[in-house]
Amino acid sequence: MTRFNHLKTTALAIALAGSAAIAVPAHADIKIGSSLAITGPASFLGDPEAKTLKMLVNELNANGGINGEKIDLIMYDDAADPNQARTFATRLVEDDEVVAVIGGTSTGATMAMIPVFEEAKVPFISLAGAVVIIDPVKKWVFKTPHTDLMACGKIFEDIKARGLSKVGLISGTGGFGKSMHEQCLSVAGKYGIDIVADETYGPKDADMTPQLTKIAGAAGLQAVVNPGFGQGPAIVTRNFKQLNIKVPLYQSHGVASKSFIDLAGDAAEGVRLPASALLVADMLDDSDPQKAVVVGYRDAYVAETGQPVSTFGGHAYDAFHILVNAIKSAGSNNPAAIRDAIENTKGFIGTAGEVNMSATDHLGLDLNAFKMLEIRDGDWTIVK
Amino acid sequence: MKLTKLSPKILTLLALALLVIIAPMFFPSSFYYRIGALIFINGLAVIGLVILVGYAGQISLGHAGFVGIGAYSCALAPEHLGISPVLAVFLGAFLSGLLAWLVGRPILRLRGHYLAVATLGFGILIYMVLSNEAQWTGGPDGMAVQATGLKALLKSMGFKVSASEMWYWIAAVVMMIGALIALNLHTSPTGRALRSLHDSEVAAGTVGVNVANYKLSAFVISAIYTSVSGSELALMNRFISPDVAGFLHSVELLTMTVLGGAATVFGAVIGAAILTSLPQVLTVLHDFEHIVLGLIMMLVMIFMREGLVPSLAKILRRRPK
């Protein structure tokens, strides 16, 4: 900001008065920025993320912070609007001068923010799903949630393990369904999966019987996969049962929550889906290294907010711990040093799985990070 | 200084120019340049709506559709047609104008609520195309926009500016040009004809104004304004998603128009400035953001029915010095 220092000296007093309402808090702490969709259409993702971050920051500061320095979390609500996210990203970098940023609840908001952080050379850990965020690898951009590509991989692996190969796809046309649909098509060949039917439905459709009837009629159909989000998959599951289609139904990690079971009712019986270990915290083996992490986070979150835990808050948990570990091991608040330390994250056990990052992998998760779940008697069970 | 002796046109332009030049002196960081640029970009779109809503008295709930066309022209044309992003601005403006002309002919026959609903449908159609044609537009997650190369050009000429600063000045100049055209239009025969439509279509028709043609030209002009603002947004953000073409954005633009004073260019910029910067100011009172916005709208609607700028001007004029 040296370029207008001359202006700054003359106008500082007035400028400060003028921007009193937007003034930033006192310095000397480690400033971490965040822009999340706390309100708006993606608030069911952003809200648990925001609550998790606040909880973790308070906890860390109460325990003395990092090397004696407190964390100052600056959080904005972009309501999943890419244009607003971009503005907040600029604000975090230029005005708040943060050393790292966690956020971007939606893929759109994340992609809009990336150029800002790349240009300003500030490490950025995204909480959004799509694989485009880290593929191709961008120097300053990382992410913690599993990608839709991995979800497809996990599902296809399971289908293969059951000795099946002919799959029908029924996909939502929202951002999530569309992205996962493409990824599933792209990796189907790799797992020897044959896509024999490919149908879509709109996010507000109330009945998917026609599409399912068509899929059921496809020659040699052995399994159906439903990439989708929100209510759509629950309706698909109900219609699937009503039509009495006798092949296994797979849902995506997008509906890995209790409300899906409630919405789909009895029809959900036998449905399989890939999900993070957080969902089945108590069912994990005691020998599972993730058990302590997910149980600890869940209990803390429930105690703090009184709400059930969700995988989305878990993404924020992972991002925050990866960042804090990086700041500790970098031993400085220099964004470049923090970035290098994040890239060197090895063997970190988070809610999503074991994270091993490298210069070519800014996600660091493999397929083991997903647990394949089956719904039995209205509850999750782990498929072994 | 007897400012009152100057014509309103010169006065408005002077005031805008002063605002544009003086504001950066108070910017503590280059983040404020971005807010300024966003205000001018929104301001341009709102000036376009002033021509349609304020001058001609028509309504549109679908103008964000044109923002989308302008924005996606700058995203798609360089990638698929290989033309420069700057030229794509003109392509977008042409496409928007053409579409407005085609669509405007039938739907501008409607009035009041019916026109509102027809334009609403039009805007939503564009939004749906942008979010559904994923192989072209990247779908709901949006797509990246090529760099204009302007910054590199400036750098090679020895000027090192941040992207936000550069766009502040570009958006300011484009908005000033837009304001100049709109102000000239106001006093021209076309402008007078448009304003006669606003007061009474029947009376205007009786004295020989070609009602359908003038309505259509106001619609086309405002579409071009909004399209250019969309192009600027895409080029500045270097990323675009269908949200810019969404219904909420249409409403936002219309709210800015009405808040500032639907019939004045200066009001358009003030309306855009308030509604663009307010969410940034209100981040400290995050939970109350919508309440404050709603309260401001209600107070303006109740106490300043013509919008902020005309009402304040009236109060100032009434008071003897």
Per-residue pLDDT of A111-137, as tens digits, reads: 999 999 998 999 999 998 888 899 889
Per-residue pLDDT of A14-38, as tens digits, reads: 433 344 344 444 446 899 999 999 8
Q: Exposure of A313 by Cβ count < 10 A (0-12 exposed, 13-18 middle, 19+ buried)?
A: buried
pLDDT at B4: 57
pLDDT at A8: 44
Residue among B264, B193, B100 nearest B201 (CA): B193
Contact A295, A282 (CB under 8 A): yes
pLDDT at B5: 67
Residue among A126, A87, A103 nearest A34 (CA): A103
Task: Express as a percent the part of chain A with pLDDT over 70.
Answer: 93
Residue among A77, A121, A83 nearest A103 (CA): A77
Residue among A237, A277, A252 nearest A152 (CA): A252
pLDDT at A280: 86
Average pLDDT over residues B276-286: 81
Residue B25 touches partner A, C-beta closer than 8 Å: yes
Query: Is B310 a residue whose pLDDT tops 70?
Result: yes
Count of C-beta atoms within a 10 Å radius of residue B32:
26
| A82-111 residues touching B, CB cutoff 8 A | 82-84, 86-87, 90-91, 93-95, 106-108, 111
Of A21, A95, A106, which is closest to B29 when you measure between CB atoms?
Answer: A95
* First vs last C-alpha separation in chain A: 57
Higher-pLDDT residue of B79 and A13 is B79
Count of C-beta atoms within a 10 Å radius of residue A75:
21
> Would you call B28 and A15 a contact, using CB atoms and an 8 Å cutoff?
yes
> Would you call B286 and A77 a contact, using CB atoms and an 8 Å cutoff?
yes
Distance from CA of A90 to the nearest CA of B (A): 6
Cα nearest neighbour of A14 on chain B: B26
Contact A46, A86 (CB under 8 A): no
Residues in chain B within 8 Å Cβ distance of A90: 30-31, 34, 164
Domains of chain B: 6-25+32-318 (1.10.3470)
d(CA A108, CA A117) in angstroms, rounded, equals: 15
Residues in chain A within 8 Å Cβ distance of B238: 115
Cα nearest neighbour of B164 on chain A: A90
> Would you call A82 and B243 a contact, using CB atoms and an 8 Å cutoff?
yes
Distance from CA of B113 to the nearest CA of A (A): 26
Contact B275, B175 (CB under 8 A): no
pLDDT band at residue A319 using 50, 70 and 90 as cut-offs: very high
Query: Is B170 a residue whose pLDDT tops 50?
Result: yes
pLDDT at A2: 44
Residues in chain B within 8 Å Cβ distance of A12: 28
Average pLDDT over residues B143-164: 81
Higher-pLDDT residue of A4 and B311 is B311
Query: Is A1 a residue whose pLDDT tops 50?
Result: no
What is the predicted ipTM?
0.82
Q: Exposure of B159 by Cβ count < 10 A (0-12 exposed, 13-18 middle, 19+ buried)?
A: exposed
> Would you call B139 and A111 a contact, using CB atoms and an 8 Å cutoff?
no
Give the start-end residues of each E strand in B128-168: 143-144
Average pLDDT over residues B287-303: 81
* Angle between helix B112-132 and helix B64-80 axes, rounded to 10 deg: 30
Residue among B39, B73, B66, B69 nearest B51 (CA): B66
> Would you call B26 and A130 a contact, using CB atoms and an 8 Å cutoff?
no
d(CA A308, CA A338) in angstroms, rounded, equals: 32
Query: Is B314 a residue whose pLDDT tops 90?
Result: no
Contact A100, A58 (CB under 8 A): no
Average pLDDT over residues A329-337: 90
Per-residue pLDDT of B109-141, as tens digits, reads: 888 889 999 999 999 999 999 988 878 887 788
> Would you call A108 and B237 a contact, using CB atoms and an 8 Å cutoff?
no
Of A81, A95, A112, which is closest to B31 when you measure between CB atoms?
Answer: A95
Residue A24 touches partner B, C-beta closer than 8 Å: no
Using CA atoms, how far residue A8 sits from A242, B24, B31, B33, in Å, is 70, 10, 14, 14
Residues in chain B within 8 Å Cβ distance of A77: 283, 286
The CATH classification number of A148-275 equals 3.40.50.2300
Average pLDDT over residues A162-169: 92
Higher-pLDDT residue of B151 and B230 is B230
Query: Is B37 a residue whose pLDDT tops 70?
Result: yes
Q: Which CATH number among 3.40.30.10, 2.40.50.140, 3.40.50.2300, 3.30.50.10 corresponds to the domain A2-146+297-366?
A: 3.40.50.2300
Average pLDDT over residues A290-299: 92
HEC string of chain A? CHHHHHHHHHHHHHHHHHCHHHCCCCCCCEEEEEEECCCCCCHHHHHHHHHHHHHHHHHHHHCCCECCECEEEEEEECCCCHHHHHHHHHHHHHHCCCCEEEECCCHHHHHHHHHHHHHHCCCEEECCCCHHHCCCCCCCEEECCCCHHHHHHHHHHHHHHCCCCEEEEEEECCHHHHHHHHHHHHHHHHHCCEEEEEEEECCCCCCCHHHHHHHHCCCCCCEEEECCCCCHHHHHHHHHHHCCCCCCEEECHHHCCHHHHHHHHHHHCCCEEEECHHHHHHHCCCCCCHHHHHHHHHHHHHHHHCCCCCHHHHHHHHHHHHHHHHHHHHCCCCHHHHHHHHHCCCCEECCCCEECCECCECCCCCHHHCEEEEEECCEEEECC
pLDDT band at residue A9 using 50, 70 and 90 as cut-offs: very low
Task: Express as a percent the part of chain B with pLDDT over 90.
Answer: 47
Per-residue pLDDT of B198-244, as tens digits, reads: 888 889 989 888 999 999 999 999 999 999 999 999 999 988 989 89
